[in-house]
A and B are shown apart, each in its own frame.
Chain A
């Protein structure tokens, strides 16, 4: 029996469910301190998407930061090149808003696989991402893309770094008209322009998109990217994880760090992606490492807990008079035995409503 199934869905119970899921696949728990060297974040600033770093001086004068990201710390600490490092984490990260007036503590869970990333490892991590979405929501979708296809097409277009970044932004915003204007301004070959525009708009179940993707093959990089997407999807189909998968290149990620499959998870009722991940061998290269890596993070602060369920802490409010409370405890106990959440107060709190309010007097409960 799943003990966690009986808990209401909230941030804490979802974290427990996610931990249980990752442990079931044999991932080790990664724990870290609240602080990290500021230099680690500074050197990899582009990897940290948004959010200002909160810094302070350590006792020895070193500049430290409140932990803003967990992946970088895992990569820094994963030493053994010969055996895969398979870890998960549930940690709070800290970010300041742009005006730095607002510091937030954000609960995050995630999985990282560092080592020789083979086809099975890739599909296992994506399967875990899908199961993570299923853990936190009943209606969810996973957008799947491949940086190899994006990079391969941009190589053929012959764009400079600035133009590559502009084109990637258009793909991420599904702004085919902007991409077309950029290609025409730069005199890009018509066939490549069409393929890039198609890449920015393609969306749907993989089996409906693979023909379109195959028509975008222009070199080895694009060919192996499409083949990898096909292989991963076939593997997800084998285990019944394929229904929620959509081909969608708007989830393409940073070109400096990500090099293979990238994905984002969306749940109904949340306006932003709640899960983001992919293959990030390029980040490892920045640490002087030759192995590969794939992983994802789940942003629990974005889930719509506050919009579902009962906001009140109790179902029933009992108002009592301190001079006339004989038998109150037993009356509350009786209600609680029937599964009712009871809150007893000697005075009403303005502005808070409960499903039912009862008054305790003369040794028994009365309707208010």
Chain B
């Protein structure tokens, strides 16, 4: 039995549809019920929904054998897991953004508002830039508008929210997409089952491209 952690939301639903199309369906998960864990003995899978930022924790600690998670979460948490596939979905980028047409002065400490302090810290450390991290949990775009920060480090998909608020992306830190991850011990003890899932996803990916 392979335990699969899916991120709540559109990405997780899309990932489940892929698993289903490859023969890993689980009717229970499609029903309107209040269950938290969904098992299909016949297909040898057990799914559960988790907060996207928690998926890699479940996988790293072996509560799930595999999971779907954004590269942003992996980079931020530095999770000790196998990153087996780039699923090529949920594509966006981690970027620095700030007020349109202005670049913050390089001679003072840069105030950076972000949900991703580790990514921001290592990006600016590589540039030897002194920064002050302002840790926020949401609506990051408001920070530079209200003078709370000079820039933000956040995920940018289309950039619409930024442009509508007189902000713009300055630099791309890293491209982001969804990854299939696996627990390091599970991968060894359930190698055939996990490898077969990977190969089917890869074959489906090449068929579609």
Interface residues of A (CB under 8 A from B): 139, 141, 143, 173-175, 177-178, 203-204, 246, 248, 250, 266-268, 270-273
| CB-contact partner of B86 in A177, A271, A272, under 8 A | A177
Q: Is the CB of A250 within 8 A of B85?
A: no
Pairwise interchain contact A250-B184, C-beta atoms closer than 8 A = yes
Are A271 and B184 in contact (CB-based, < 8 A)?
yes
How many whole Å from A70's CB to the nearest CB in chain B? 23
Most buried by A among B187, B188, B191: B188
Bitwise, B73-98 to A at CB < 8 A (1) or not (0) is: 00000001111111000000000000
Question: Secondary structure at chain A's binding surface: helix, strand, loop or mixed?
Answer: mixed
Q: Which of A143, A173, A177, A178 contacts B188 (CB 8 A)?
A: A143
Would B61 and A177 count as touching, CB distance under 8 A?
no
**Interface contact B185-A270, CB-CB below 8 Å:** yes
A-side contacts of B82, CB under 8 Å: 173-175, 250
Question: How far apart are the CA atoms of A271 and B77 in the complex, in Å?
Answer: 17
Q: How far is the CB of B179 from chain A (nearest CB, A)?
A: 8
Interface 1/0 per residue, B51-62 and A, CB below 8 Å: 000000000111
CB distance from B186 to the nearest CB of A (A): 7
Q: Complex: how many Å from CA A203 to CA B83?
A: 15
**A268 with B83, Cβ < 8 A, contacts A250-B184, A273-B184 known:** no
Q: List 13 A-B contacts (CB under 8 A).
A: A173-B83, A175-B82, A175-B83, A177-B86, A178-B83, A203-B187, A203-B188, A248-B188, A250-B184, A270-B62, A271-B185, A271-B186, A272-B184
Say yes or no: B81 contacts A173, CB within 8 Å: yes
Query: Contact at B185–A272, with CB atoms within 8 Å?
Result: yes
- Name the residue of chain B whose CB is nearest to the CB of A267: B185
Roughly how many angstroms separate A246 CA and B185 CA in the complex, as a whole number? 12
Nearest CB in chain A to that of B182: its residue: A174
Q: Is B183 an interface residue (CB 8 A)?
A: yes
Whether B185 contacts A266 by the Cβ 8 Å rule is: yes
Given contacts A270-B62, A270-B185, 17 further A-B contacts (CB under 8 A): A173-B82, A174-B82, A174-B83, A174-B84, A174-B182, A174-B187, A175-B82, A175-B84, A177-B85, A178-B86, A266-B188, A266-B189, A271-B186, A272-B80, A272-B184, A272-B185, A273-B185
Contact B189 A268 (CB under 8 A): yes
Give the docked Cα–Cα distance between A250 and B183 (Å). Answer: 12
Are A203 and B191 in touch, CB under 8 angstroms?
Answer: yes
Task: Please give the distance in Å from A350's CB to the nearest CB on chain B.
Answer: 28
Query: Could you tell me the distance in whole angstroms from the C-beta of A308 to the nearest C-beta in chain B?
Result: 15
**How many residues of B are counted as interface, with CB atoms below 8 angstroms from the partner's CB atoms?**
19
Residues on the B chain within 8 Å of A177, using CB: 85-86
Residues of B within 8 A of A250 (CB): 82, 184
In Å, the complex CA distance between A174 and B188 comes to 12
Interface string of B180-201 (1 = CB under 8 A from A): 0011111111010000000000
Question: What distance in Å separates the Cβ of B107 from its nearest Cβ neighbour in chain A?
Answer: 28
Instruction: Kindly list chain B residues whose C-beta atoms are within 8 Å of the C-beta of A178.
Output: 83, 86
| Distance from B83 Cβ to chain A, minimum over Cβ atoms (Å) | 4
Ranked 5 nearest A-B pairs via Cβ: A271-B62, A175-B83, A174-B82, A177-B86, A266-B185
The distance in angstroms between the C-alpha atoms of A173 and B69, with both chains bound, is 15
Taking A271-B60, A271-B62, A271-B183 as contacts, is the C-beta distance between A141 and B83 under 8 angstroms? no
**Minimum CB distance partner of A174 in chain B:** B82
Assembly CA distance A271 to B80 (angstroms): 10
Task: Provide the bound-state CA to CA distance between A143 and B191, in Å.
Answer: 13
A138 CB to closest chain B CB (Å) equals 12
CB closest chain-A residue, reference B64: A271
Residues of B within 8 A of A268 (CB): 185, 189
**Which A residues touch B188, using CB under 8 A?**
141, 143, 203, 246, 248, 266
Task: Please name the residue on chain B nearest to A178 by beta carbon.
Answer: B83
Q: Give Cα A268–Cα B82 distance, bound, in whole angstroms.
A: 17
Task: Report B-chain residues with C-beta under 8 Å of the C-beta of A273.
Answer: 184-185
Min C-beta distance of A319 to chain B, whole Å? 38
In the assembled complex, the Cα of A115 lies from the Cα of B190 at a distance in Å of 38
CB distance from B185 to the nearest CB of A (A): 5
B77 to chain A, nearest CB (A): 12
A139 to B190, CA, bound (A): 12
A111 to chain B, nearest CB (A): 22
In the bound complex, how far is the Cα of B184 from the Cα of A139, in angstroms?
Answer: 15
Q: Enumerate chain A residues within 8 angstroms of B185, measured Cβ to Cβ.
A: 266-268, 270-273
B-side contacts of A266, CB under 8 Å: 184-185, 188-189
> Smallest Cβ distance from B206 to chain A, in angstroms?
13
CA distance A248 to B61 in the complex (A): 20
Residue with the greatest number of chain B CB neighbours at <10 A, chosen from A139, A268, A271, A272: A271
The listed residue (B61, B62, B183, B189) touching A141 by CB distance below 8 A is B189
In the complex, A272 Cα to B82 Cα: how many Å?
12
The docked-state distance in angstroms from the alpha carbon of A178 to that of B179 is 11
Interface 1/0s, chain B 23-64, versus A by CB < 8 A? 000000000000000000000000000000000000011100
